[in-house]
Structure 1
């Protein structure tokens, strides 16, 4: 089933059994078997760029929405956002964890102005 979904990027059954055996025996890989673990297919540079482009277009996209648009696993999308862009979810927007002082001031002004702009008649 994995071959149908991932095609050539899927690990072979033999390789998976080798990794399982190494994990079970708690051994590191050897020179004859230089692959330390499963291949990282979802954190490729083109996937990171695609997610970056989508986030810049619409910060309200959820992790699920990004995963559906890109065809990448939700957990990989979350890891890319967290590790590559240092972003976390705030309400319904993906935002950088640390705001600059100018960004903080701008958000404060907007929050103060919203109640003042509402016309209650």
Structure 2
């Protein structure tokens, strides 16, 4: 605080002032009303992926900076990305994985560590028919306490490419796995081994 301001405050307190807070000013009234805040909230709830620019097209009489203030300060929304998860599993996928896990537990109970030494797995690839959306495109407005949306990771592919897995392709995959076992885990082919169900 400058010396001039200190002298000004001293004069005011000497004259009988007791409050250290600024006095209310008769300025321009705020155009942010409860009704306006509610309208903005309804628009966001209809589509949480609205950008401020898109939102301003529904409220042309309000500036973008004021809309941003309503969304972030009055409604307490934040623009956050969806959380990536490895796969999007259907109930059928989850049931099959649960069945496989229970089968493995039972076989481990019967065979012990020897059973684990006989398990061989191969890599899998999930291919999207179209180019998936980016994390930036998946951003949506939500509160900090709201549950986070998830989106599964997808492998980029050309739109015109079709991926078909038939018996011939599956046999080829098993042959590649057999060669990998021969190269990396010698002696395993003479033992009994299993391939987990997908």
**TM-score between both structures, scaled by the size of structure 1:** 0.52
Q: Closer, same or farther in 2 for the Cα pair 1:65/1:73, shift >3 Å?
A: same
Q: Corresponding residue for 2:38?
A: 49
Residue 59 of structure 2 aligns with which residue? 70
The 2-side partners of 1:29 and 1:98 are apart by 35
Between structure 1 and structure 2, the one with the greater Rg is 2
**Residues 86 and 97 in structure 1, CA contact (< 8 A), matched pair in contact too:** yes
Residue by residue, what CA displacement relative to the aligned partner does 1:17-73 show, whole Å, maximum 9, x if unpaired? xxxxxxxxxxx667xxx51x22111x1111111111111111122111212212211
Count of residues paired in the alignment: 81
The answer to whether the Cα contact below 8 Å between 2:44 and 2:141 also exists between their aligned partners in 1 is no
Residue among 124, 138, 144 paired with 1:98: 144
Q: Matches of residues 11-50 of structure 1 in structure 2 within 5 Å?
A: 34-35=25-26, 37-41=27-31, 43-50=32-39
In structure 2, the partner of 1:115 is 154
Q: For residue 119 of structure 2, what is the aligned residue in structure 1?
A: none
**Aligned mates of 1:76, 1:48 — CA distance in 2:** 11
Q: Is the 8 A contact 2:44 2:50 kept in 1?
A: yes
Structure 1 runs (4+) deviating above 4 angstroms are none
For 1:77 and 1:45, how far apart are their aligned partners in 2?
A: 13
Higher helix share: 1
- Residues of 1 paired with 2:141 and 2:41: CA distance? 12
Higher relative contact order, structure no. (Cα contacts within 8 Å, ≥ 6 residues apart): 2
Q: Aligned pair 1:83/2:73, yes or no?
A: yes
Instruction: Say what the alpha-carbon RMSD is for the aligned residues.
Output: 2.9
How has the CA–CA distance of structure 1 residues 97 and 53 changed in structure 2, closer, same or farther, with 3 Å as cutoff? closer
